Structure 1
């Protein structure tokens, strides 16, 4: 195994994937949401850097080619698992997440089955955009949790009448309830919209990989 900077960055991203879930075991919310988002975004940034550096420094290796998609899938799968676990299980969230998880498992199975001819399932430009959309959507959804719980902490001890008066502008908003509520609402809407876009791209690339694999799947042994 050849360890260089790009491969080390990829390995760090792989290690960071379960770290997103661990944040919710050792920290209370909203600190867990914020730390998970920071860790996820930092790891996602390395996804661009390791590929760029590997090409720029001519350090592309089989180890890196193997670890990179595994790290991406681990990040997405674990982060979606955490988000769904702490959500209201809305079908608008669960459905696109299910599409993404199913496709990742399905394509991984195809690659394993095809073995030596799995090179026919090369990563396309659309698949790269798919991964980017997934990571941006997940980061925004994590930010929703941050806004939601800081809003909840701010209204702690207030009665419903006081909260309504502040939100309607009848009382001074010294705790920033309005911008925290707006942040929670818009982060949820934008994150969910991006997740549906990611799920659509995920389904399209999944069908594309299946189409490319069909000739090999119909071969007789």
Structure 2
């Protein structure tokens, strides 16, 4: 548990209460701090896996915690974006698609683990995660209001969110198809 990649993964989980607290606030500066915290947490998502593979320290606990850390962080930020009204209208559907897929794939992985069948993360799923992180980061930045009026963060966030939702459906279908073969 004390390897650097595992500590980075754990830091993402520990960042979630801070993100929620900052996004609960009404201050532009709280939202800017939330964006910075989210960006740092998002960067750790790349480096934990990279470092684990590079140094040969891939561990069972890391493989278990990494997707959980991703899902907790993404779910918390989506809920807080809806709560704050940054994500509203039809765009909430994109957020729901992402949340429902994550729950479904987690349940499927848990079931398949009892059969000792692993479902490795596909390249497309990694792109999905990248689009999610960019989308949610841009939307958190949009929550700063008029702090950065020249940045099209809301537009970038919504476009990337819908792209992430589309990739979410595609990768979710792929995982479901593979999982159904073992049921």
TM-score tier after normalising by the smaller chain length: over 0.9
How far the C-alpha of 1:118 sits from its partner, in A, is 5.8
1:18 Cα deviation from its structure 2 partner: 2.6
1:70-149 maps to which residues of 2 (within 5 A)? 70-87=68-85, 90-117=88-115, 119-146=117-144, 148-149=145-146
Q: 1:123, CA displacement in angstroms?
A: 0.7
Give the structure-2-normalised TM-score.
0.93
Which residue in 2 is equivalent to 1:198?
164
For each residue in 1:2-24, what CA deviation from the matched residue of structure 2 results, as whole angstroms up to 9, or x when unmatched? 42111111101111123210113
Mapped to 1, the partners of 2:23 and 2:77 lie a distance apart of 11
Distance 1:137 1:88 in 2: 12
Question: Unpaired segments of 5 or more residues in structure 1?
Answer: 151-178
Query: 1:45 deviation in Å?
Result: 0.4
Q: Post-superposition shift, 1:93?
A: 1.5
Deviations 1:59-105 (A, max 9, x none): 11001000100001111100111111111663332010010000000
* 8 Å contact kept, 2:86–2:143: no
Tell me if structure 2 keeps the 8 A contact 1:110–1:213: yes
- Is the deviation greater in 82-91 or in 41-50? 82-91
Match of residue 63, structure 1, among 54, 61, 64: 61
- Give the structure 2 partner of residue 20 of structure 1: 19
Q: Secondary structure at the match of 2:171?
A: helix
**Secondary structure of the equivalent of 1:107?**
helix
Instruction: Give ranges in structure 2 of 5+ residues lacking alignment.
Output: none
Cα separation, partners in 2 of 1:129 and 1:22, compared to 1, 3 Å: same
Question: 2:32 maps to what in 1?
Answer: 34
When Rg is computed on C-alpha atoms for both structures, the one with the higher figure is 1
TM-score w.r.t. the length of structure 1 is 0.78
State the secondary structure of the residue aligned to 1:75. Answer: helix
Please tell me whether the aligned partners of residues 137 and 195 of structure 1 are also in contact (alpha carbons under 8 angstroms).
Answer: yes
